[in-house]
Structure 1
Amino acid sequence: MPTYKITGIDVDFPFEAYDSQLVYMEKVIQSLQQKCNTLLESPTGTGKTLCLLCATLAWRKSLGGFSTGMRERSSQSEGSISDVSPSQGARSKLPTIVYASRTHSQIQQVIQELKRTCYRPKMVVLGSREQLCIHDKVSLLRGKTQTNACRMLCRKRGKRSCAHYSHVADYMKKNPHLGDEPIDIEDLVNVGRRFGPCPYYVSRELHKVADILFAPYNYLIDRNLRKILNVDWNNSILIFDEAHNLESLCADAASFDLPSWLLTACISEAKNCIDLSIARREESNDKSHNPDNFAILKALLLKLEKRIAEVPIQSKEMGFTRPGLTS
């Protein structure tokens, strides 16, 4: 396997590198050394992903060894798994690499590229419960319903608890080398089906000690998902692969829909609450049933409806955009 000296870093590349690939890896390493943001573009088929991985991992390896073969355990995580990640106090101060792409199918392709390199960092792929849950009933649910059902079963004890969740701590203790070799979502699911531990919580535990983690964009863009990751964002390398639609994804993450029918239903519900509160107060002579708060809510909703109706929308295609504040 050829080795190239690029800005003082020995980069092992699985093939004889083209000049364009050497230039690409040079720019990647320069941005890492200078701790700056970099926008890189390369045509399809030029080995961009392989260059990104080799250059970044070579630079990271030059700072210190990978966590491969080691299993650090926080005292807060011994014997229990939590939705809230423990602090990074016991972890190395070496930077964590977060490799984000649009979809899990694209991440799977990136992992295939990682297998072609000689680098073996401790790694993990992050996924949702919909992709990783193997519980007979919970796996059939979706969205918040699935999340709530999972958390409820994980809090229970005995026969009514999730058996897969209860096996995670013991499995991780007996298999400290999990993640030393590249694994993807399907591999985690196969581990769960074969040996019993919950693939979702296995990935959540594994990411606490990973040198590089792979995830879809929303794990970095969505504030709630970002908060639960055990990552020191001030000491991390963020790679957005295939980032040409990142702007629209950020806009979607900061947006929400408020259909007119929903606003109308809210106004009607507020009116019903007013009537119900008045009726209960008259029946029981209980002054705690105060309709004033519901009346205020109804007034606010009516005002919102009026202001929305005043927005000068010329066409559904163009919509309406208000200019941002200028400082």
Structure 2
Amino acid sequence: DRAGDADAEDCFGFPHVPYPVQLQFMRKAYQTLDQGGVAILESPTGTGKTLSLLCPALSWLRRREQALMADALAGPQGQGDIEDWAAEHRRGMARTSALALWRRRKDRRESRRQRLRRAAVVTDRGTIAQREKSRRLDHIRSPAPTGDSEFSLEAPPPLVLPEDPFDEEDERAAAEEAAYEGKLQIVFCSRTHSQLAQVLQEIKRIPAAAVPEQLAVVTLGARANLCVNDGVRARAQSGASHLTDLCKKATEKSKEVGGCALKKSAHIMADACLTELMDMEAMAGRGRAAVGGGCPYYGARQAAREADVLLVPYASLVNSDTRRKLGIRTEGNVLIFDEAHNLLEAISDSNSVTVTVLQARAAVDDLDLYAGRYEARLTPANAMRLRQLRQLCTLLYRYLAGLEKSNAQTIGAFLVGIGADHFDLPGLSSFLETTELPRKVRGFCDGARVR
């Protein structure tokens, strides 16, 4: 039987009268949110667990915001002569600050809507003009680098054009960052992007009165899912990592001649993400639009700090580097893992890598080719790190090539076994990250093979 005697408030905005098992599930979820801590909730198959998680979570967020606003609007509660006027003054200042922050956020929401309307109307002078200018100037090249010097570790910084008129959007975003640093968010995680799309559909079913006012939901994902630059995607022949390399190279030129026009319009996409409920497919379609489009990947990243709810795949949350790059905060936020039985596998996958003997051999060959071209031009420190990396890859290749059967080892035993226990692995890792050597080696070797 359904819980017919449950009133609307007890049902947490559930779109229909819930069954007792659903109501019990939602009450337990709400209680956990209200008291803090960790809960592992389970419900029989077919009982709508995702919706039963979303309803109490969004209801709790709405009531929390209402309580904070009511407290901010409440006047001072004096206690006569014994009132500590200094403490009351501090409380008054805190209320004023909270109210001002709420008003600024509300004003920004309206500003986003106005910017979107302007982007849709000003077709001659806005986004289209930017992209056409980028296409017209795409053939111009910076005179500083010559040949394949762009792949050198000592390559000079790219030539940058005068400030773009849309740079004010970057300044606006930076100015707003601080205001949202303490914003509480619900980070909802699921295993796949298709499951996150289903989560968004469930959110749309919840009555507006049961969720925070002007609810902002942003879906985050990798470039492989959100990049809509056809030129970059066409050249990405070897998977997601190659696409990431090409995207970084294109967006490094976002203020240069021939830079990625979609990246330049990412702020428009950020506004769209915060005013519309869009899954990844809708974001990609909006990003490709001639009017009001922009890069969904960078747009979602810009929008993330202002969102009430972030929809995130497991892989993006459990990996610290990815989490940092996407701007996902965990401290002080609510984390919800749907289908949590997949979580341990996701953590294991994010901290594991498979290297075949063919890949190790290819790494040795590519580093040899790169070193033959650039080693003489490198600083002594970079040349030393490159030699160490070549030696490490050679040791790994020899070990894998001579392996007759599978065996499990600790990391320490493995490093001793291949003769690499004396290497400064943290230093090499930092070297790879700061110099972007993998991207440069890939770019140089791909070009060399074509030639």
Q: Give TM-score scaled by structure 2 length.
A: 0.55
Residue of structure 1 in register with 2:34 after alignment = 33
> What amino acid is aligned across from residue 47 of structure 1 in structure 2?
G
* TM alignment of 1:118-267, pairs within 5 A: 118=207, 119=211, 121-140=215-234, 141=236, 142-156=239-253, 157=255, 159-169=257-267, 171=268, 176=271, 178-194=273-289, 195=291, 196-260=293-357
Unmatched tracts of structure 2, length 5 or more? 1-5, 67-101, 113-166, 377-382, 412-451
Q: Is the 8 A contact 1:4 1:13 kept in 2?
A: no
Question: Is the alpha carbon distance of 1:134 and 1:101 closer, same or farther for their aligned partners in structure 2, counting shifts above 3 Å?
Answer: same
Q: Is the 8 A contact 1:98 1:236 kept in 2?
A: yes
User: Deviation at 1:245?
Assistant: 2.0
More divergent stretch after superposition (42-51 vs 151-160)? 151-160
Unmatched tracts of structure 1, length 5 or more? 281-288
User: Deviation at 1:90?
Assistant: 1.2
CA offsets 1:138-194 (integer angstroms, 9 cap, x no match) = 12324232222222222324551111111223x25xx84643442111211121122
In 1, the alpha carbon distance for the partners of 2:392 and 2:181 equals 54
Runs of 4+ in 1 over 4 A off after TM superposition: 65-70, 84-88, 175-178, 260-270, 296-300
More divergent stretch after superposition (11-20 vs 187-196)? 187-196
In 2, the alpha carbon distance for the partners of 1:27 and 1:231 equals 26
Question: Is the alpha carbon distance of 1:17 and 1:144 closer, same or farther for their aligned partners in structure 2, counting shifts above 3 Å?
Answer: same
Residue of structure 2 in register with 1:57 after alignment = 58
Q: Is the 8 A contact 2:317 2:328 kept in 1?
A: no
Question: Is the alpha carbon distance of 1:262 and 1:213 closer, same or farther for their aligned partners in structure 2, counting shifts above 3 Å?
Answer: closer
* TM alignment of 1:100-115, pairs within 5 A: 100-115=189-204
Q: Is the 8 A contact 1:266 1:301 kept in 2?
A: no
Q: Give TM-score scaled by structure 1 length.
A: 0.73
* 1:80 pairs with one of 170, 174, 177: 170
Number of aligned positions between the proteins? 289
Judging by fraction of residues, say which structure has more helix: 2
Residue of structure 2 in register with 1:284 after alignment = none
SS class of match (1:124)? strand
User: Deviation at 1:129?
Assistant: 1.7
User: Deviation at 1:231?
Assistant: 3.5
**Identity in percent:** 32
Residue of structure 1 in register with 2:380 after alignment = none
SS class of match (2:180)? coil
User: Deviation at 1:34?
Assistant: 2.1
More divergent stretch after superposition (179-188 vs 240-249)? 179-188
Q: Is the 8 A contact 1:68 1:177 kept in 2?
A: no
Residue of structure 2 in register with 1:320 after alignment = 408
Question: Is the alpha carbon distance of 1:221 and 1:253 closer, same or farther for their aligned partners in structure 2, counting shifts above 3 Å?
Answer: same
Q: Is the 8 A contact 1:263 1:301 kept in 2?
A: no
User: Deviation at 1:106?
Assistant: 0.8
More divergent stretch after superposition (21-30 vs 151-160)? 151-160
> What amino acid is aligned across from residue 29 of structure 2 in structure 1?
V
